[in-house]
Structure 1
Amino acid sequence: MWILLAVAAALAGAVVIAMPGQDEEPAAPLRTATVKERVQQFSAALREDAAYRPPSEDERRKFVDALTTLSAGQPDDVPRTTGALQQLGMSVEQGTDSQTGRAYVLVASEPNAERGWGLYVIDLSRPARLAVQVPHPANDLRTDEIGLELFRRVPGTVLAVSGTHRAVSNGAGDAAHRTDSMFHTLAVKHSDLGLPQVQLHGFGDNSLSSADVVVSSGAGSAVTAHRRIADGLDRVLRVCRAWSRDCGELEGRRNKQGGVAAERGVPFVHLETSRTVRDDAERWQEIVKVAAEALGDD
């Protein structure tokens, strides 16, 4: 039986390092889901009636310390962070992405748990150089898929997926507009480290019928990366540039993570994509390609 489990896990490329509540550190492979399946299952499970409490300041500090260690791109650091993350109610899985061949570690809370603090995938192939943020995975459909594909395109990416439906606890789970979450605290750390950030959102077609995608710098000023993304997408999509025209309520001016990035002078790309485009993988793959070229250059 153990041999069969080991073969199945090896094929999937993921091994559970620790699950919350365990006293030991089992080396046995217990999960066979791919990283894509894990992200999709996590987002699909989130409910607006789930119990939720924001993490304390001490919990946020411990979490960010552990994620910062993992983001150094050293696979040997994974066991050193497992205990602290386990105490926060999070599982830790280390594996190799079958699509890219790169090592990763996936840290996740249980969906709809009181400590619903998110899912985070860290590329272990090199030190972090880009943060991809998905604040509304249960509401802005397929932004988690787009985020994962961008993660795969740019080695050294940290993918952060919020752990709540945005309506949880009367809006306490709206990661883009709260400062008391693991999601936000990690974004602050990334701004302190100077990491460029791209945050993915979705809008209904009727919200801005003249555009397929809105490219915004949030509370900051547009820089080369914003213009490169907008210019690149012009070939295939109708683009609204928030720094040069009114894009309605889709510009992310009050986005909390974008506000911190603006204060630190760090590039923050707020990307809103229409439902029609998000429903068409061929079209949203163009967004991934263009964004990766603009943000992933060394």
Structure 2
Amino acid sequence: MDLARRITDFTHDTVARSDYLPPLRAQRRTAAEAVGLFLDGRRTEAGRRLDGIDFGISTFTDTVTGRRFAEISDRAAEGHRGWGRIYIDLSATTRWSVQVPHPVADSGSEQLGIGVLRARRGGVLVMAGAHRNADRKGRADVAHRRDTVFDAVCDELAARHLPGLQVHGFADSTEPGYDVIASLGSADKGLPTARRTATALRHEGFAVCRAWARRCALEGRGNVQGREAEDQGVPFLHMEFSRTVRDDASRVRRAAEAMAASLPS
């Protein structure tokens, strides 16, 4: 199975049309605890916990990398609840996460997430399951809500001290002259990683606005996953990419490889 095709089909066929049903606190906790159990190697127990919220675990081999991945996803109401998916690289010990909070809304951001997951072993990809505007009350905007499955899983990963990389997209007119806005959100533990990442991207020909060195738009200071990472003392990067970059498959690949190579292990 092609990992990229699997995720792209999910975003096009499900995320773009999904409703959003806010999860109960117990459901969020169950999802996060099950991911933790899975990462601890207690996969049968994780599966039983996920059964309680009608989620399931499947595994497959990515035809491009030849590596095994696990997919944790909604079995019954994926297009109704919009709680998202988690992909785990099974070829190595889990050491970091890449997060895609706004698939479809930030067109092409899922391709950046896929690229990072493929480019370096030991990753977890956490993806939202609905458009950020799927709920009229704003409850589907997972980058700014603490009451989502997405946030609960990211909290579990931060509690395990796994560095987080969150990818977004911006309109070219938002920050003219830049391809990338790199920031730490509200955190400060990731500054060495951020500097390495910005340097790697510049070497690939990207113009990077570095929010720790100057004022940039969309610095992500209200990002709740970044705030949790700060509380846990875990490196966190908030990366915004222009529409021009996200529309260019070659530049997406180069950006993903540069970010993956810069992640701490």
Query: Which 4+ runs in 1 deviate beyond 3 A?
Result: 46-51, 77-80
In structure 2, what residue type is equivalent to 1:203?
A: F
The 5 A counterparts of 1:240-251 are 240-248=209-217, 250-251=218-219
**Which digits, 9 at most, give the CA deviation of each residue in 1:192-216, with x for residues without a partner?**
1111000000001111112100110
User: Is the aligned partner of 1:253 residue 2:218?
Assistant: no
Letter in 1 for 2:92: R
SS at match of 2:135: helix
CA–CA separation in structure 1 for the residues paired with 2:114 and 2:248: 16
- How far 1:35 moved relative to its partner? 2.4
Question: Within 5 Å, which residues of 2 pair with 1:10-29?
Answer: 12=1
Which amino acid is the alignment partner of residue 90 of structure 1? F
Secondary structure of the equivalent of 1:112? Answer: helix
| Preserved contact between residue 89 and residue 124 of structure 2 (Cα < 8 Å) | yes
2:145 paired with 1:178: yes
Change (3 A) 1:144 1:88: same
SS of 2:209's partner is: strand
Larger Rg belongs to:
1
Residue 233 of structure 2 is aligned with which of 245, 262, 265? 265
Measured after TM superposition, the shift of residue 86 of structure 1 is 3.1
Whether 2:166 is the aligned partner of 1:199: answer yes
SS of structure 1 residue aligned to 2:113: helix
Say whether 1:145 aligns with 2:114: no
Q: Is the 8 A contact 2:166 2:239 kept in 1?
A: yes
How far residue 159 of structure 1 moved from its aligned partner, in angstroms, is 0.3
The answer on whether the counterparts of 2:88 and 2:125 sit within 8 Å (CA) in structure 1 is yes
User: What is the DSSP-based 3-state SS (H/G/I as helix, E as strand, rest coil) of the residue aligned with 2:79?
Assistant: coil
Q: Deviations over 1:198-256 (max 9, x none)?
A: 000000111111210011000012521100011111120111000111112x1100000
**Structure 1: distance between partners of 2:143 and 2:246:** 20
Q: Does 1:157 align with 2:123?
A: yes
Aligned partners of 2:18 and 2:129 also within 8 Å: no
8 Å CA contact 1:198–1:271 kept in 2: the answer is: yes
- Name the residue aligned to 1:59: 27
2: CA distance between counterparts of 1:138 and 1:99?
23
Distance 1:86 1:116, change over 3 A: farther
Which of 230, 234, 244 pairs up with 1:276? Answer: 244
Cα distance in 1 between the residues matched to 2:15 and 2:255: 28
Contact 1:36/1:148, CA 8 A, preserved across alignment: yes
Q: Which residue does the alignment assign to 1:91?
A: 56
Amino acid at match of 2:224: K
Q: Give the Å deviation of 1:61.
A: 1.7
CA drift of 1:50 comes to 4.3
Structure 1, gaps ≥5 residues long? 1-11, 13-33
- Helix, strand or coil at the partner of 1:206: coil
1:132 aligned residue (80, 86, 98) = 98
What does 1:207-218 correspond to in 2, within 5 Å? 207-218=174-185
Task: Supply the RMSD in Å over aligned alpha carbons.
Answer: 1.7
Which of residues 100, 112, 134 in structure 1 aligns to 2:79?
A: 112
TM-score, with normalisation over the residues of structure 2? 0.92
Displacement after TM superposition at 1:182 (Å): 0.8
- Percent sequence identity is 35
Deviation, 1:78, is: 3.5
Q: 1:102 aligns with which of 61, 67, 70?
A: 67
Match of 2:7 among 39, 59, 63: 39
3-state SS of paired residue (1:176): helix
Letter in 2 for 1:219: S
The Cα of 1:47 is off from its aligned counterpart by 5.8
* TM-score, with structure 1 as normaliser: 0.82
How many residues are treated as equivalent by the alignment?
260
For 1:121, the equivalent position in structure 2 comes to 87
Q: Distance in 2 between matches of 1:50 and 1:80?
A: 29
Equivalent pair of 1:42/1:111 in contact (CA under 8 Å): no
Corresponding letter in the other structure for 1:208: E
Question: Residue 237 of structure 1 is aligned with which of 206, 218, 221?
Answer: 206
Distance in 2 (CA, whole Å) between partners of 1:247 and 1:295 is 22
Residue 46 of structure 1: how far off its partner (Å): 4.2
Q: Distance in 2 between the 1:49 and 1:267 partners? A: 33
Q: Aligned in 2, Cα 1:214/1:194: closer, same or farther, shift over 3 Å? A: same
